[in-house]
Amino acid sequence: MSKTTASTSVAAADKSKPYFPLAGSNNDGWSKEDSASASCFCGAVQLGFPTQGPGLVNTFVCNCTDCRKITASMFASNFTVRDTHLTHIRGEVETFSQNHTIASGETMTNYFCPNCGTLICIVVRIGTVDDFSLHETKLLPRVEQFTKDRVSWFTGVEGAEKFEATGFKARM
């Protein structure tokens, strides 16, 4: 699917249709009825994922201090997919692991593209999804967690279920 030029801004795009703006170097993103692609900034890594249950488990924003550091932003916008439903289409990934700041003491491993550095998993990043309409429809964050660590100028995700700390009982 080629990038559309029908709309000049994400805000003005018709969210009922797939929308692939010029974003990074990837140019073969796709979006179907129940699955879509996610790519890193350079396009070397691409994943396929389900856009509805049971493969799509949850969508959430996290404001925790680790997410702020690792994304180099003020929050992470993520979604979780069952392993059995996630497709690795192409690209090698590298990992970085640490357990120093993880409350459970477990090691957290993050996967990223060795070429451009985009974070890919453990949870999938909403920002890597090629069809930008999905960011505001099927992947709209249902949960926002670690609101206690939220930056003061971000007012939070409207309509999401809010948690002061972790919103998930089971480890992801």
Other Cβ atoms within 10 Å of 47 Cβ, number: 22
Nearer to Zn ion, 13 or 139 (CB): 139
Please name the residues in contact with 78: beta carbons below 8 A apart, sequence gap of 6 or more. Answer: 59, 60, 61, 62, 123, 124, 125, 126
Q: How far is the CB of 12 from Zn ion (least distance, A)?
A: 28
> For Zn ion, which residue of 27, 58, 80, 115 counts as binding (CB under 5 A)?
115
Only segment of 30-38, 105-113, 120-128, 161-169 that touches Zn ion (CB under 5 A)? 105-113
Q: How far is the CB of 139 from Zn ion (least distance, A)?
A: 17
Only segment of 50-58, 112-120, 122-130, 159-167 that touches Zn ion (CB under 5 A)? 112-120
**Cα 61 from Cα 144, distance rounded (Å):** 5
**Cα 131 from Cα 170, distance rounded (Å):** 29
Instruction: Give yes or no for residue 80 binding Zn ion (CB under 5 A).
Output: no
> For Zn ion, which residue of 38, 113, 157, 160 counts as binding (CB under 5 A)?
113
Contact pattern for Zn ion over residues 130 through 159, marking x by CB under 5 A: ------------------------------
Nearer to Zn ion, 17 or 90 (CB): 90
**Cα 94 from Cα 96, distance rounded (Å):** 7
Contact pattern for Zn ion over residues 25 through 64, marking x by CB under 5 A: ---------------x-x-x-----------------x-x
Interacting residues toward Zn ion by CB under 5 A: 40, 42, 44, 62, 64, 67, 113, 115-116
